Amino acid sequence: MMNDHYTVINKRIVFILLLLGKTSLFPQTVLYRYNSDYDNNDLKQTAVHVANVSVDMRWDDEEETARGSEGWGYSIGKTSYFSQNSGSITTIDTIMETFIGPHTLSGEFWIKPFESEGKLLSWGDSAASNSINISLINEGLRLMHSLEDETFELTAEYSFDLNRWHHLIWHSVVSSDSINLGIYVNGQIIGEESFGLVAPGWVTYSSQIIIGYDQNDTIPGFKGEVYAANLKNYFLHTQYVISPPPFDGSAYCGIPNYHDYAVGSSTNSIDERITYNPTKVKDAVFVPYANDEFIPQGVTNSFEDEEYENDSTNMVFISLYHKTQNGSTGLKKSIVVELDPYNGYKIRRCFRLNGIQRFAHNGGIAFKNNHIYVASNYHIEKYEIPEYQLGTDKYVDLYANEADVYSVSSKASFVTYFEDTLWIGDYRGASENDIPYLFGYPIDLSGDIISPSNPVIYRLPIRSQGVAWARVGSEKYLFISQSNGGSSYGLIYRCHLNGLSYSETPVIDTVFSIPAGAEDLSFNGDGDLFTVSESGAKYFHESWSMFYPFVYSIPNQTLLENIGYGLGSIIDENLHPQQYKMRVYPNPFNGKVNIEYILGESGFIDLKINNILGQQVYLDETWLNAEDM
């Protein structure tokens, strides 16, 4: 009898543990995905029934030059066209997910609304105990989460540009005593609110998911185009969430489309793959044309030209070359993309190069006198940027003549402009015998390299990918980007002009760590430093462990922190040491540093020691009495 009772109890325990393993311990995953490009039998797609919606190949009018039948040969895809408010896309099966206690739900939409009101998503109707409902409302969005018969509602104001694409992200994070709702549009948070609640128990969501018209709701269905939507059981507040797409006309509005996996798979999706950046980022946007197999290289901006004065038209430019996933090059011409920082870094224009650099790697670009200088293969080629006017074509061919091509002594792996000089640099790998150098070529008022000229030459570290100069007061600093492969963090070195020479590698003042794949550098008018990572390129996405698919800027305050103070010095702030002595013994590599100091008055000290990588290796926060050593 006792054995029978013991067996029953054991069975109950096993049953409960199995349920726990299926619910609260369930891995982060995509619960539902709809993508207009995927078929119903695709494992990446949740099977759906489509009613009053046209799913077909189409592209926006502005994409005709690049993606039309007589265009540049860029990719084209499908969208789901809701021409009337009765259109719907409904899962064939019920989508069920069960949680015990705190849990998270989130999702995304890529939509082009024709009207400012309409039902977007239903996962359970308003009568259900647990449901999610999202609607476009006049001048905004509404997110409703019903949880154990209590409804929590977030209404966020936002004026949608009708007939334009948008990327929406929403989340609902349920904790033991509150629920937090949030909505992002194109990388900007438009609404967030928390509500108190009683600790949830056993929670099951079980309903079909509907995009568009829901017969159980009084709200008319969404009218417009939908490219894709998803639902996940997690939310990661990474650079993915707060970075807008570039809206390049490709899949997911330019966010890489090659990290979709089977629905329910534990393989990390794109938002889970984003590498942590230890250096502060100010602005970021996804690298454009990754889905068309372009790889970013150079970066510059209008304010690289110190005489450029029009704040409202300052643009950021990046260069890209074409390389397929199997390594083929020369199939599409290289491009320079113009990004508008005053419009969420959306693409304003895409320029296709038609000079000698049309199929080149183009590892760096510079801006001066409304010209883009492109560096590659021991040559600099100059292209004039045509004036922009409203209604200007998005896709433009650029041409250069023989007078716009300059042969240089440098390998011309990258280039930057600074104070009447084009600085042209070499990339050299660790296995190459040649030493990398930076050559400074003076240019005249027309922007032509003065010939003949004797360039200023400074030695560079190996694997240098790009440089940019900064003037701080009367001092000049050179910033150098260095790569270390696809599985190691890259570095940005800050070097004072006095630490540069022809014969010796630069004396490094400060080091900033950044995700792998960083390329060229360029300072804007605010002193923020732009760079671009190639780690998000389709060619690298399987072989590189780091993934950071952004053009991004590092704020001026981060780059110039503690500038002017070398190693082994004291920053003069609050308490003034009467005596200060620092020595390293018996050699610099024994791992010990002895620091002695005496304060003139009692006070709280905050002593931090960082290594050359900028990583904190020692911290001492304590009270020290006056005259104590």
pLDDT at 125: 85
327 Cβ neighbours under 8 A, 6+ residues apart: 539
CA distance 602 to 305: 50
Q: Which CATH number is associated with domain 284-559?
A: 2.115.10
Please write the tens of the pLDDT for every residue from 285-324. Answer: 999 999 999 999 999 999 999 988 776 789 999 999 999 9
Q: Which among 100, 83, 81 has a CA at the least distance from the CA of 16?
A: 100
Which burial class, exposed, middle or buried, applies to 299 when counting CB atoms under 10 A from its CB (0-12, 13-18, 19+)?
A: buried
Reply yes or no on whether the pLDDT at 207 is more than 70: yes
Segments of the chain assigned to CATH 2.60.120.200: 25-273
Indicate the pairing of strand 166-174 with strand 178-185: antiparallel
pLDDT at 418: 98
Q: What percent of the chain has pLDDT over 90?
A: 81
320, amino acid identity: L
Please write the tens of the pLDDT for every residue from 343-377. Answer: 999 999 999 999 999 999 999 999 999 999 999 99
511 contacts 613 by C-beta, under 8 angstroms: yes
Average pLDDT, the chain: 89
pLDDT category at 337 given cuts 50, 70, 90 is: very high
531 contacts 550 by C-beta, under 8 angstroms: no
Q: Could you tell me which residue, 461 or 621, shows the higher pLDDT?
A: 461
| Residue 9: φ, ψ to 5° | -60, -45
Rg (CA), the chain: 28
416 contacts 364 by C-beta, under 8 angstroms: yes
| 3-state SS assignment for residue 271 | helix
pLDDT at 608: 64
54: number of Cβ within 10 Å: 14
Segments of the chain assigned to CATH 2.115.10: 284-559
Reply yes or no on whether the pLDDT at 562 is more than 60: yes
Indicate the pairing of strand 395-398 with strand 346-353: parallel
Question: What DSSP character marks residue 111?
Answer: E
CA distance 598 to 472: 32
Q: What percent of the chain has pLDDT over 70?
A: 85
pLDDT at 398: 99
Q: Could you tell me which residue, 479 or 9, shows the higher pLDDT?
A: 479
Question: What DSSP character marks residue 27?
Answer: P
382, amino acid identity: K
Q: pTM of the entire structure?
A: 0.86
435 contacts 428 by C-beta, under 8 angstroms: yes
CA distance 86 to 325: 41
pLDDT category at 540 given cuts 50, 70, 90 is: very high
Beta strand ranges found along 302-363 (DSSP E) = 316-322, 335-340, 346-353
pLDDT at 453: 78
Average the pLDDT over 253-276 and give the result: 97
Question: What DSSP character marks residue 279?
Answer: S
Reply yes or no on whether the pLDDT at 68 is more than 70: yes
pLDDT at 502: 98
pLDDT category at 586 given cuts 50, 70, 90 is: very low
> What would be the CATH architecture of the domain defined by 25-273?
Sandwich (2.60)
Structure tokens that stand for 29 in this block:
């995953």
Residue holding tokens 């009692």?
602
Reply yes or no on whether the pLDDT at 567 is more than 50: no
Alpha carbon distances (Å) from 84 to 54, 59, 114, 182, 610: 11, 19, 10, 29, 61
pLDDT category at 564 given cuts 50, 70, 90 is: low
Please write the tens of the pLDDT for every residue from 17-49. Answer: 333 333 444 689 999 999 999 999 999 999 999
pLDDT at 430: 87
Residue holding tokens 């995509």?
30
H-helix segments, 410-512: none
pLDDT at 563: 80
Q: Residue length, the chain?
A: 629
CA distance 546 to 474: 38
